A = this chain, B = another copy of it.
Amino acid sequence: MDFIRDIDGGFSVIENIKVSGAREGKYGVSVILAPQSTASGVFTTNKVVAAPVTYTKKVVKNGIVSAIVVNSGNANCFTGQKGIDDCEELVNLVSKDLDVPANEIAICSTGVIGREMPMDIISKVAYESISKLGDKPENSLAAAKAIMTTDTFPKEEACEVTLTTGEVIKIAGITKGSGMIAPNMATMLSFIVTDAVISQNAIKKALKIAADKSFNMIIVDGDESTNDTCLMLANGSSGVNVENDGEIDSNFQEGLNHVCINLAKKMARDGEGASKFIEANVQGAESFEDAKLAAKAIVTSPLFKSAVFGGDPNWGRIVSAIGYSGCELNPDIVTIAIADDEDETDLVRKGEILAFEGTPYLGCAEKIMQSKNITVKIDMFLGDGEATARCCDLTYDSVKINAEYTT
């Protein structure tokens, strides 16, 4: 898509926003300051909801957010009224220090469940973070780092999108999350900012579409956190409106999908204990929903993910996962292929098994399975439903990280 151009610098590519991050031991605080932005969010559907999620849902409902404060190290979940009080305390502190109305400040947390927030440390780190606010690439990187828990690298993205009108806008984002992490160092947190002008209805719709193609299509361990949050702000600093007659510019949507998918890929690649990155692409499903079911079943299957770790082109596990996914399927006509960045081979072609012992298909498949990036391609030949899901492999280290961290 030549209307999308990736650029470096994370949030620093957007005019009129300032960001920062600071850390003390396992506690980090990031601040994103983007005054009077149109805002939307998608949140965990877990019935056990952390206090900051409850709090921020109300803030976002008003449609205007000026700042986001994020802490790592404590999820502020299962903390009752005290948890909500702590949210308010932190927001009031930030509100005074930044001179921004309290009801325009969103708050997110990630970390251990069931412990009160250590407000003395968090407040101190928050003050420090605010004192470092800036608009340089290093400020964006500091923000991406301060929200990390067991992540092994910071995750930033930015791109420039040429709209169908020829005008140009930018979208940038940071994310954290590599599983619902020991002990309950939960959570995917993603923050996207664009300089586009966009209405509250449109930003809500666009973010939902992008999240469904990206964050909602990655699986690390299959456990859904109590704190998952993706917030998007549009500060309008480009002066470019991305809506025409109430329709969102299709290039803007593609650009937003692009940023979210790249952030999601980085999360999957950094899954706890991961040694390989896996994409499952399903085509020809009876519907989009069916394609999603099948793709997600593949990237959720612990058996398939163990096989990838072991380098085994075990297509029987792929077939089995699709079979129990709930999607429509005719095993007699399905095609299953695997690929890496260089090679591609069919394993099963229109129901016929090709990858027998001694065949070149199996030989090629075994070579591909040694790669770091593996794509599974399914064609169902039933319709035009298409979806892609992503995950990492299941390794000894995946178990180790979750088993050895004790409370």
Assess the B402–A306 pair: CB atoms within 8 A. Answer: yes
Chain A interface residue number, banded: 35 or more
Q: Does A45 contact B (CB under 8 A)?
A: yes
Residues of chain B with a CB closer than 8 A to A309's CB: 399, 403
In the bound assembly, the distance between CA atoms of A315 and B322 in angstroms comes to 32
In the bound assembly, the distance between CA atoms of A3 and B361 in angstroms comes to 59
Task: Report copies per complex.
Answer: 2
Min CB distance A305 to B, Å, is 9
Assess the A312–B405 pair: CB atoms within 8 A. Answer: yes
Min CB distance A118 to B, Å, is 13
Most chain-B Cβ atoms within 10 A of its Cβ — which of A184, A186, A324? A324
Residues of chain B with a CB closer than 8 A to A179's CB: 303
Assess the A302–B47 pair: CB atoms within 8 A. Answer: no
Assess the B313–A407 pair: CB atoms within 8 A. Answer: yes
Chain B minimum-CB-distance residue to A306: B402
Q: Does A80 contact B (CB under 8 A)?
A: yes
- Say yes or no: A395-B399 contact (C-beta < 8 A), given A303-B223, A324-B46, A324-B223: yes
Assess the B402–A114 pair: CB atoms within 8 A. Answer: no
In the bound assembly, the distance between CA atoms of A362 and B70 in angstroms comes to 30
Q: Which of A337-383 contact B (CB under 8 A)?
A: 348, 351, 353, 357, 362
- Say yes or no: A183-B80 contact (C-beta < 8 A), given A45-B324, A48-B329, A405-B312: no
- A interface secondary structure, majority: loop
Residues of chain B with a CB closer than 8 A to A357's CB: 407
- Say yes or no: A310-B405 contact (C-beta < 8 A), given A226-B320, A303-B223, A320-B226: yes
Residues of chain B with a CB closer than 8 A to A331's CB: 47-48, 78
Q: Does A180 contact B (CB under 8 A)?
A: yes
Residues of chain B with a CB closer than 8 A to A316's CB: 77-78, 112-114, 183-184
Assess the A302–B402 pair: CB atoms within 8 A. Answer: yes
Q: Does A135 contact B (CB under 8 A)?
A: no
Q: Does A400 contact B (CB under 8 A)?
A: yes
Assess the B46–A221 pair: CB atoms within 8 A. Answer: no
Residues of chain B with a CB closer than 8 A to A403's CB: 306-307, 309-310, 312, 394-395
Assess the B407–A314 pair: CB atoms within 8 A. Answer: yes
Assess the B302–A223 pair: CB atoms within 8 A. Answer: yes
Assess the B396–A226 pair: CB atoms within 8 A. Answer: no
Q: Does A20 contact B (CB under 8 A)?
A: no
Q: Does A110 contact B (CB under 8 A)?
A: no
Q: Does A222 contact B (CB under 8 A)?
A: yes
Q: Does A225 contact B (CB under 8 A)?
A: yes
In the bound assembly, the distance between CA atoms of A399 and B303 in angstroms comes to 8
Min CB distance A109 to B, Å, is 13
Q: Does A311 contact B (CB under 8 A)?
A: yes
Q: Does A89 contact B (CB under 8 A)?
A: no
- Say yes or no: A303-B226 contact (C-beta < 8 A), given A46-B323, A48-B322, A114-B316: no
Residues of chain B with a CB closer than 8 A to A351's CB: 80
Residues of chain B with a CB closer than 8 A to A407's CB: 312-314, 357, 362
In the bound assembly, the distance between CA atoms of A396 and B223 in angstroms comes to 19
Q: Does A136 contact B (CB under 8 A)?
A: no
Assess the B317–A183 pair: CB atoms within 8 A. Answer: yes
In the bound assembly, the distance between CA atoms of A48 and B323 in angstroms comes to 5
User: Besides A78-B331, A221-B302, 4 other CB < 8 A contacts?
Assistant: A48-B319, A180-B303, A180-B320, A183-B316
Give the top 9 A-B pairs by smallest Cβ distance, nearest first. A310-B403, A48-B323, A113-B316, A306-B402, A184-B316, A46-B323, A224-B324, A306-B403, A47-B323
- Identify 25 residue pairs between A and B in the complex whose beta-carbon atoms are under 8 Å apart, listed by A's number: A45-B324, A47-B324, A47-B329, A48-B329, A78-B316, A80-B332, A114-B315, A114-B348, A180-B303, A182-B303, A183-B307, A184-B316, A221-B302, A302-B402, A311-B406, A312-B405, A313-B407, A314-B407, A357-B407, A394-B399, A394-B403, A395-B399, A395-B403, A396-B399, A399-B399
